Structure formats: structure tokens, C-alpha cells
């Protein structure tokens, strides 16, 4: 007797829109989850979304921070192109960032290689190299002023003892930005730990194969270490740029803010100029426009770096 095949029955399809319906238990779980993350939601809306909306709104107005804003259209943005201090602050900020970020990446790589050395005392060295990066920035700035003082600073005394001239690090426009770039390297220990984690993730078999081929230390570093570390280098570049364009605290502590940007406006950073317009000159509308211009410039720069990174960043398996 032949067995008749049982026809395959399609499962009943869900009614239209049923996938958006939730059971009573699912709604309860959703509300419970929202309740737990409600502090973050309130903070996100109150301290990020609303300030962004408000600043872009007042960037099209003349507003002193008091009273009713006066709508002036794109006048604040047009004013930037005729503002010499805007261009000075923009140049100083990107000059500092363009030096501090790549130098910081090189310093962090060197520290990470030192931390990765097969020595019994290496945990102590790691702690010593990391300590400067956890110091408060304002305290580090005060110590830095004492170190580079033209009269009593240890650095200048050492320069004089070896026959070099006494440099006025904070009074000479030629050296003022260089001093800020050097100060930024005190925080390289924190990034060095990230580089160290990347070094630990490189397979030792690659170095062993290179050694069998007769590769030296420099060849192994350039052909193995650097390509394998390029994703972390990219991360450091993006992070460094986002922090570099926000330089503010150390400038105010070291050079003061009356008048801003001493000496000769050579250290007038973008954020310092924005702060002065908003809180010293009561030009909140113009300050908001400056903030959004920096946001757009930073986003464009980050997009260019990500586009450029496709040529030199090597991900695992690529």
C-alpha cells in the first residue's frame, strides 16, 4: 500500500503589524529597562541634545546671554571670514594639533616598546611611565611652569650648563607653541598602554618567521610591528585630534587670559577665543557659531583621515 505524502503546511503568517505588538510581560520588561537607563536618557537629552539644538539656534542671533536674542541670519558666520583673530586662533590650534598628535603617537609607541621589554623590573617602569598621565592637568601645568622658568627652571639651568642659550619658553612666540607640544607628551603614558595591548596581540610567529629570513630589529619593526599597529595608530590620531582642537586649560594657566593668547597671540587657541567671545565679551551668538564651525571642521578632518586610512591601515585578516 503506497503511503501518500503529507502536504507541507506553511505556518500561519503573523497578522499585519503584529511584530510591533508586545505582550504584557514584554511591555513590563521594556518599562523596567527604560527606568534603569532613565538617568542616562535624561543626561543625554539635557546635556547633549538640548545644548546642541540651543547653540545652533542662537548661532543665527545676536545674543549677549541676557534678554531676548535678535535674529541676524548668517551674519555670525560671515563675520568669521573677516575676523583676523578667528584665523589666528584656527591656525594656532591646528599648528599645535598637527605637531602634538604625530609626535605623541611616536612617543607613545616608544614608551610601549619600552614597557614591552622582557625585563624583570618592567612592571615598575610601566608604573613610572604611566604616572604623569594621571596627574591633573592644572597641577601638571604649574609644575611645567616651574620646570621651564627662565630664571629658576631646571631645564634652562641644564641648557646654560651645556653652553646653550637661556630660552624664554613662555614669553617668546617662537617657542611658546613648542612648549605646549612638549607638555602634551606628559600624557603619552596613557596612550602607551593601548599601544602595549596592541603589541601583546601581535603573533610571535610573525617575528620568528622574520628572524628565520634574516630580518633585523628595524626590518621587523617596520614590516611587522607598524603594519599590525596601524588600527591603534588610527584610533590615536582621531582621539588626539579631538583633544588637540580643544586645548584650553594649560594655555590659561601658563599664559593667562589677560590679554588672551600671549605672547603676541601665538598661543590663542580656538576654544580660548570661543570662551572669550561668549563669557568675556558677551557675544554668545558669535561664540555658538564658532563652536559649530569647529564641529564641522573637526568632522571634515576626521572624514578625510578615515578616507586616507584605507591606504595604510591593515586590519587582521586583510
Beta bridge partners of 260: 257
Cα separation, 113 vs 150, whole angstroms? 34
Beta bridge partners of 252: none
For residue 54, what is the enclosing H or E element? helix 50-58
DSSP codes of every residue in 200-235: HTS-HHHHHHHHHTT--HHHHIIIIIHHHHHHHHHH
**In this structure, are residues 132 and 186 in contact, taking their beta carbons and an 8 Å threshold?**
yes
Residue 272: CATH number of its domain: 1.10.3720.10
**CB count, 10 Å around CB of 7?**
5
Q: How many domains does the chain have?
A: 1
- Structural domain contains residue 184: yes
- Structural domain contains residue 31: no
Cα separation, 242 vs 261, whole angstroms? 21
**In this structure, are residues 242 and 235 in contact, taking their beta carbons and an 8 Å threshold?**
no
- Structural domain contains residue 104: yes
pTM of the model: 0.85
Provide the residue range defining the domain that includes 144.
Answer: 84-309
- Structural domain contains residue 7: no
For residue 90, what is the enclosing H or E element? helix 84-115
**pLDDT tens over the chain, length 318 residues:** 555 555 555 555 445 555 668 888 999 999 999 999 999 999 999 999 999 999 999 999 999 989 899 999 999 999 999 999 999 999 999 999 999 999 999 999 999 998 888 888 888 888 888 888 888 888 999 999 989 988 888 988 898 889 888 888 888 888 999 999 999 999 888 899 999 999 999 998 999 999 888 888 899 999 999 999 999 999 999 999 999 999 999 999 988 776 655 777 889 999 999 999 999 999 999 999 999 999 999 999 999 999 999 999 988 655
**In this structure, are residues 269 and 93 in contact, taking their beta carbons and an 8 Å threshold?**
yes
- Structural domain contains residue 172: yes
For residue 305, what is the enclosing H or E element? helix 284-309
- Structural domain contains residue 65: no
Amino acid at each position: 500500500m503506497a503511503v501518500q505524502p503529507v502536504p507541507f503546511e506553511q505556518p500561519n503568517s503573523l497578522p499585519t503589524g503584529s511584530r510591533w505588538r508586545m505582550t504584557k510581560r514584554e511591555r513590563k520588561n521594556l518599562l523596567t529597562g527604560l527606568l534603569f537607563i532613565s538617568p542616562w536618557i535624561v543626561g543625554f537629552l539635557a546635556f547633549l541634545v538640548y545644548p546642541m539644538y540651543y547653540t545652533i539656534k542662537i548661532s543665527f542671533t545676536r545674543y549677549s546671554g541676557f534678554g531676548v536674542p535678535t535674529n541676524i541670519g548668517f551674519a555670525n558666520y560671515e563675520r568669521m571670514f573677516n575676523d583676523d583673530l578667528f584665523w589666528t586662533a584656527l591656525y594656532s590650534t591646528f599648528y599645535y594639533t598637527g605637531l602634538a598628535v604625530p609626535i605623541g603617537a611616536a612617543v607613545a609607541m616608544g614608551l610601549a616598546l619600552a614597557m614591552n621589554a622582557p625585563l624583570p623590573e618592567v612592571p615598575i617602569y610601566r608604573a613610572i611611565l604611566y604616572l604623569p598621565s594621571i596627574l591633573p592637568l592644572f597641577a601638571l601645568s604649574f609644575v611645567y611652569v616651574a620646570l621651564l622658568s627662565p630664571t629658576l627652571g631646571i631645564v634652562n639651568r641644564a641648557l646654560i650648563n651645556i653652553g646653550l642659550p637661556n630660552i624664554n619658553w613662555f614669553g617668546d612666540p617662537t617657542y611658546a607653541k613648542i612648549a605646549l607640544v612638549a607638555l602634551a607628551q606628559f600624557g603619552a603614558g596613557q596612550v602607551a598602554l593601548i599601544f602595549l595591548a596592541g603589541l601583546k596581540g601581535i603573533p610571535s610567529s610573525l617575528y620568528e618567521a622574520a628572524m628565520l629570513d634574516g630580518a633585523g630589529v628595524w626590518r621587523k619593526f617596520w614590516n611587522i610591528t607598524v603594519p599590525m599597529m596601524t588600527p591603534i595608530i588610527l584610533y590615536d590620531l582621531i582621539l588626539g585630534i579631538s583633544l588637540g582642537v580643544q586645548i584650553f586649560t594649560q594655555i590659561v594657566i601658563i599664559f593667562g587670559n589677560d590679554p588672551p593668547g600671549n605672547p603676541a597671540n601665538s598661543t590663542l587657541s580656538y576654544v580660548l577665543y570661543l570662551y572669550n567671545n561668549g563669557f568675556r565679551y558677551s557675544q554668545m551668538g558669535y561664540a555658538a557659531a564658532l563652536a559649530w564651525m569647529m564641529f564641522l571642521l573637526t568632522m571634515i578632518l576626521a572624514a578625510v583621515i578615515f578616507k586616507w586610512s584605507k591606504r595604510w591601515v591593515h586590519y587582521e585578516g586583510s
